[in-house]
Structure 1
Amino acid sequence: MTSSFLSFQNVTAWHRDQLLFTNLDFEVKRGQHWALVGESGAGKTSLLQAMAGRLSIVGGNVVYGFYDDFLKTHPKPDVFFSFQNLVAEVGQKHSFRNVSSNTADFYYQQRYHAADAADAPTVDQYLEALGAPAQESPVWTREKLVQTFRLAELGSQQLIKLSNGETKRLLLAAALLRNPRLLLLDMPLTGLDGEARAHFEEILAEITASGITVVMATSALEIPKAITHVAVLQQGRLLSTQTKEEFIPRATHLSEDPERQAAEIANLLAESAPVPTSFQTILDLKNVTIRYGDKTVLDGVNWLVFPGERWALLGPNGSGKTTLLSLLNGDNPQAFAQDITLFDRRRGTGETIWDLKKKIGFVSPELFQFFPYQNTCLQVVESGLYDTLGLFKESQPQQEAKAMRWLELLEIAQHAGTKLRQTSASTQRLCLLARALIKHPPLLILDEPCQGLDPQQQHQFKQLLEAICAHSSTTLLYVTHYPAEIPNCVTKVLRLEQGRVQEKS
């Protein structure tokens, strides 16, 4: 048995027509657990994909020491068995499949429509379809995983109805059911509340103690205790490797010219005539209660928001925040059975969903998960002017120019002509942020807008949002699990817990 668990030797790798790595040398030794860090687009996800064998290696050599050692003590099950059978991945997006079509054709509003939501498998059905672990006497059995990840309480729920945190728990459990030798995690802490992050720390320690080697992409500021080594990447190059104790995060590079950014935002807002904002109230919820079967998701919520107010909507995973926002942005049909007034008009009194959506700029983790990816980044941003999930009409030169200016503000203009699916997850998220901002709506609903962004991008977006609030009367609802992300313009708080309002100030 060699000390090398996995070794990349002078590797050059491509994906589709894009060169990702050139002459890459990287080694994971036995007993090591690695964090891959670096700014967005540095190559963290690509390196995980290379380890999983999903990139085209056109030069150099990859040695899967863990696979060679496995074959020394286990007969090869069949001719198709490869190192990939010993690897499990948890990415930033799921690939759940509907029951009737057996295709991953979930759509954004599916969770709110009873008939279509029922086409999604339940948690129990999903785990059953994965089958039993192939190994004899596996460490991670289905029973242990259900207990460790608290899945029994979710068993009868359709996958499409799970919260972000619940989905992550299920995906990690599904990966461990394979009892892999190598576990690859892409930004696993993204979107988790404080309690869930602490629970992840405990689980990761148990995973590494069970003999599984972990390599994860993560923020340089969120490296779990179980990690032993850190690799820093930049633009597809390996800058440095060191033990976790030796690693010192690099200082965040701040915007060099915030005044220029603020001036450009002021110009864009002035040129974008907003929907008339002479409303008495932006939203007024009275005793709103939402139930799905026996589960009460929102319980007697009252909330009044006036024009120009900036609110933080806080609460742990599963507290009802996503459901509450779905009632506001026109995606949840249960809004019509509730006492909800938006922009001075009671829901269900004749307004169309398009009347509502043209007044709202919206972004969320669910939108990121299900947004169609056939458009270019520039087209995605321009589609925000028409409230469509993608551009379905001929681009207008004036609107296209405006979309380009927003891409430039967010420093991703170089991706304007690139298909959204071919860009990094952080670039995709920034495109969706620009799509929400471009039409200068009277209400901005930003659900975890900094999710997946590196510290520089987070700082830049926070500055941008401060400038928008300083130069407009835009009403803001801001959701996050990280208090430091909340911009200074936010002065009010609504906190939910188990569907009830715990704080309103």
Structure 2
Amino acid sequence: MINHWAIFTDNSTPLAPLADRLLNGPQPEGFESLEGKRGALFSTSEILRWMEEELRHDRKVLTRDREQSLQSMSSGERKKALFAFILEEEPDYLILDNPFDNLDPSTREELREKIMGLSATVSVIQVLSRKSDLLPFIEKHFYWKEDKLLGTGKSETALDELGYANEPFPEALPPPPENTVYTDRTLVELRNVSVSFRDKKVLHRISWKIAPGDFWELRGPNGSGKTTLLSLITGDSPKAYGQEINLFGHRKGSGESVWDIKQHIGYITPALTDRFRGYHTLEQMLISGLVDSIGLYTLPTEKQRELAGSWLKLLGLADRKDHYFHDLSKGQQRLIMCARAMIKHPSLLILDEPTADLDDHSAQLVVHLVNKLGRESHSAILFVSHREEPGLRPGSVLQLNPTQRGSEGIILT
């Protein structure tokens, strides 16, 4: 008989100690059947480890048969490469750490079918923070909390349905440090933009406008070109040159620097969090958003401290201003990163997968905060996600639909 387990978790308890024990023993109570067997870990942390191997040592493992590197792949393509590598290793059991995060619905279903097939011969341990992701063949349920593994019996008692009768952020949105006047009616405009990488066609004749105060959601399956499209807006892609792209009052390629573009943008991506590995207090984290630095290396002014304090009060973290960022839960860290990106009230706030790897509770808090930013500021917001988050209220949606000519953009309202 093949045993399978689900371990529900939230973002307040690190997973690494549990994964280490499940892989290396001694096995926790209820998992004794895994003793002496060989396991494998399917997780974002494993993908990051192999990416680091490629970057530091120029050694390709997951992509050894491909020209493309892990760095240049979409989230879905990276997960497919890791899954294929794990299958080649033929483990006795497989730990799936939130396997469906960062995946579009069709890729999620494809991975689900592969796991279902594998479950006939390989034990599966699914670690998850979203109830809707629970695999149907798993009947043994546990909860990982405060470094303890607790049996729950049924998944319904592992994670409660979360909702808010009241607004979780009742304080008014703090004002910008300086009054900003928007003289342009359009912040970003793309006209018939197409992008290819060698013989791979990525985007086809995309036309799109972002105006001050807009709230957009960018959708599309893995590999549809969302990351490429963002790089055109942030100035990070050389593919923008020679195209009809206007960014913040300048035609792309008219002599503007990358900094001229980025000074108008607030940006958050889960990977950015990993760059703050030092001892940064919450106050320092927010003030670093005012000076655009990774860490704070100058003495902050009283005005900067007051503004940071207002944002911490909004987030319900005013009493923790001197606490270290790395001591927060993943959900709290994500809220701080959103506030850091927004603290200057940039012309455009780009939220790239802000709910990735979060549990239901933390994701809902981020959605509440993003909706508030959309209601109470003049910043344009661009929310990018593979998962349709309940309660998110964008004004419009740009849907990227892949074709043989590259992805085409369809605007949904």
**Aligned-pair distance for 1:472?**
2.0
* Matching residue's letter, 1:500: S
3-state SS in 1 of match to 2:337 = helix
Change (3 A) 1:410 1:187: farther
3-state SS in 2 of match to 1:159 = coil
Map of 1:178 onto structure 2: 89
Structure 2 residue 30 is matched with structure 1 residue 49: no
Change (3 A) 1:350 1:171: same
Map of 1:143 onto structure 2: none
Equivalents in 2 of 1:442, 1:202: separation in Å?
A: 42
Map of 2:109 onto structure 1: 198
Q: TM-score, normalised by structure 1?
A: 0.71
Equivalents in 1 of 2:361, 2:134: separation in Å?
A: 18
Check conservation: 1:280, 1:343, Cα contact below 8 A: no
Map of 1:126 onto structure 2: 61
Change (3 A) 1:502 1:249: same
Aligned equivalent of 2:41, options 79, 89, 96: 89
Q: TM-score, normalised by structure 2?
A: 0.85
Structure 2 residue 357 is matched with structure 1 residue 452: yes
Structure 2 residue 61 is matched with structure 1 residue 157: no
Aligned equivalent of 1:263, options 154, 171, 176: 171
3-state SS in 2 of match to 1:348 = coil
Equivalences for residues 133-148 of structure 1 within 5 A: none
Change (3 A) 1:435 1:88: same
3-state SS in 2 of match to 1:350 = coil
**Aligned-pair distance for 1:288?**
1.4
Map of 2:392 onto structure 1: 487
Equivalences for residues 153-302 of structure 1 within 5 A: 155-238=66-149, 240-244=151-155, 249-254=159-164, 256=166, 258=168, 261-265=169-173, 268-269=174-175, 271-302=176-207
Equivalents in 2 of 1:274, 1:291: separation in Å?
A: 40
Map of 2:376 onto structure 1: 471
Equivalents in 2 of 1:241, 1:478: separation in Å?
A: 35
Map of 1:40 onto structure 2: 11
Aligned equivalent of 1:66, options 34, 37, 57: 34
Equivalents in 1 of 2:63, 2:387: separation in Å?
A: 35
Check conservation: 2:13, 2:329, Cα contact below 8 A: no
Equivalents in 2 of 1:475, 1:194: separation in Å?
A: 27
**Aligned-pair distance for 1:67?**
3.8
Check conservation: 2:96, 2:124, Cα contact below 8 A: no
Equivalents in 1 of 2:134, 2:84: separation in Å?
A: 20
CA RMSD of aligned residues (A): 3.1
3-state SS in 1 of match to 2:90 = coil
Q: Deviations over 1:431-484 (max 9, x none)?
A: 322221222112111122222222222222222222222222221112223334
Equivalents in 1 of 2:368, 2:67: separation in Å?
A: 43
Change (3 A) 1:475 1:99: closer
Equivalents in 1 of 2:411, 2:63: separation in Å?
A: 42
Change (3 A) 1:397 1:98: farther
Superposition misfits of 4+ residues, deviation over 6 angstroms: 60-63
Map of 2:224 onto structure 1: 319
Equivalents in 2 of 1:304, 1:494: separation in Å?
A: 10
**Aligned-pair distance for 1:291?**
1.8
**Aligned-pair distance for 1:282?**
0.9
Change (3 A) 1:217 1:100: closer
Gaps of at least 5 residues in structure 2 are none
Change (3 A) 1:49 1:175: same
Equivalents in 1 of 2:330, 2:88: separation in Å?
A: 26
Change (3 A) 1:170 1:419: farther
Asked which structure has the greater CA Rg, the reply is 1
Check conservation: 2:192, 2:204, Cα contact below 8 A: yes
* Matching residue's letter, 2:289: G
Equivalents in 2 of 1:221, 1:442: separation in Å?
A: 35
Q: Deviations over 1:246-289 (max 9, x none)?
A: 6574121527554xx24332xx12x5335432212111111212
**Aligned-pair distance for 1:157?**
0.8
Question: Greater relative contact order (Cα 8 A, min sep 6): structure 1 or 2?
Answer: 2
Change (3 A) 1:442 1:251: same
Map of 1:441 onto structure 2: 346
Equivalents in 2 of 1:400, 1:224: separation in Å?
A: 47
* Matching residue's letter, 2:265: I
Equivalents in 1 of 2:262, 2:102: separation in Å?
A: 25
3-state SS in 2 of match to 1:323 = helix
Map of 1:503 onto structure 2: 410
Change (3 A) 1:453 1:213: closer
**Aligned-pair distance for 1:164?**
1.1
3-state SS in 2 of match to 1:298 = strand
Change (3 A) 1:204 1:321: same
Equivalents in 2 of 1:171, 1:400: separation in Å?
A: 44
* Matching residue's letter, 2:224: S
Equivalences for residues 374-413 of structure 1 within 5 A: 374-376=278-280, 378=282, 379-411=284-316
**Aligned-pair distance for 1:62?**
11
Check conservation: 1:38, 1:233, Cα contact below 8 A: yes
